[in-house]
């Protein structure tokens, strides 16, 4: 990548975006165009202190791109409306589909790399499994408008003949880690568990409303944000260094490939605080009961073999211990 090239990073004040900015800074990349809604006070600590070239408000980005004289070397698009309890599809369509199309077209016109966040929410209840093969998006049935919007953009991207020279859509599974506190209800179960333990000494987990799963044994593919941004950086660097072939373009799962239970996660959170587990099971809220995923597990074969990512992932216990001891307990951000 040329020395003067800049990286456009959307969602930069959010959870994953701010961790991505920190990782890029740590790798010596400071020519960042940070894009987000910077008026959200709860996110301020996520981006203040990062090294960057400029800040651009989300709604101004299209105009800014058309007018800037800066050399843009690539786009890492992590900004999205991620609230799975927002049922107005128009909100998701505007921010997750149309906005993403605008950035895709810019990357295609400028012939620069484009890496974007998709989601495991595209897989719905998992009727079709969790393969990131390109034959599947047309058949998937997401359970909420957020998942629908992510799948709609994936389908659109796969159909484009006018595309960035190097691109990847990453289907994030259940991500946890520093800088997520502003997400409130949508923050990870690790974050919520830690807050509950501090306040009451116990963690409430959802009961199972299916006979084939015991309470707390619902399974997810949990990935530590440090691994997630490491993968994004790996892919992006291959693209800008022209070590990426056209046949590698496409969708990739981004989880660990290992499903673990919420019970295991909660025990690890208590252990990170040097406490014995105290768990109480509660009824799942009615508004999410019919659309709740009981099992997710990323098929990671494609990232390993096609993209060539070989590094090991944090285990659930390793990731939670690092997050709890080094960030949640001392109240640190990165």
Q: Residues with catalytic annotation?
A: 146, 183
- C-alpha–C-alpha distance, residues 227 and 248, integer Å: 20
- C-alpha–C-alpha distance, residues 97 and 94, integer Å: 6
- Count Cβ neighbours within 10 Å for each residue of 247-270 and write b for 16 or more, e otherwise: ebbbbbbbbbbebbbbbbbbbbbb
- C-alpha–C-alpha distance, residues 302 and 308, integer Å: 8
Which residue shows structure tokens 């149309």? 98
Q: Beta-carbon neighbour count of residue 135 at 10 Å? A: 9
Q: Where are the beta strands (DSSP E) in the chain?
A: 6-10, 32-36, 54-57, 72-77, 114-119, 167-172, 174-176, 203-206, 219-220, 222-224, 250-254, 260-261, 279-282
* C-alpha 322: how far from chain center: 19
């Amino acid at each position: 990548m040329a020395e003067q090239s800049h990286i456009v990073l959307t969602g930069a004040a959010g959870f994953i975006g701010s961790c991505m900015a920190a990782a890029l800074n740590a790798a010596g990349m400071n020519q960042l165009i940070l894009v987000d809604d910077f008026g959200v006070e709860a996110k301020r600590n996520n981006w203040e202190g990062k090294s960057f070239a400029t800040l651009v408000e989300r709604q101004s980005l299209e105009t800014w791109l058309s007018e800037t004289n800066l050399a843009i070397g690539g786009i890492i698009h992590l900004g999205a409306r991620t609230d799975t309890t927002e049922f107005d599809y128009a909100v998701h369509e505007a921010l997750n589909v149309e906005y993403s199309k605008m950035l895709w077209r810019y990357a295609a016109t400028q012939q620069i790399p484009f890496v974007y966040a998709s989601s495991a929410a595209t897989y719905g209840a998992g009727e079709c499994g969790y393969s990131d093969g390109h034959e599947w998006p047309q058949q998937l049935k997401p359970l909420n408008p957020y998942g629908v919007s992510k799948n709609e953009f994936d389908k659109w991207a796969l159909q484009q003949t006018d595309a960035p020279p190097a691109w990847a859509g990453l289907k994030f599974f259940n991500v946890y880690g520093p800088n997520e506190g502003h997400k409130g209800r949508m923050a990870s179960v690790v974050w919520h568990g830690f807050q509950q333990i501090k306040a009451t000494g116990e963690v409430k987990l959802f009961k199972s409303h299916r006979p084939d799963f015991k309470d707390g044994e619902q399974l997810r593919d949990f990935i530590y944000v440090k691994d997630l941004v490491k993968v994004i950086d790996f892919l992006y660097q291959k693209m800008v260094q022209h070590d990426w072939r056209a046949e590698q373009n496409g969708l990739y799962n981004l989880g660990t490939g290992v499903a673990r239970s919420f019970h295991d996660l909660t025990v690890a959170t208590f252990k990170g605080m040097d406490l014995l587990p105290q768990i109480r099971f509660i009824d799942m809220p009615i508004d999410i009961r019919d659309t709740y995923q009981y099992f997710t597990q990323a098929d990671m074969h494609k990232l390993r073999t096609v993209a060539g990512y070989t590094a090991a992932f944090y285990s659930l216990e390793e990731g939670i211990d690092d997050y709890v001891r080094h960030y949640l307990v001392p109240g640190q951000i990165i």
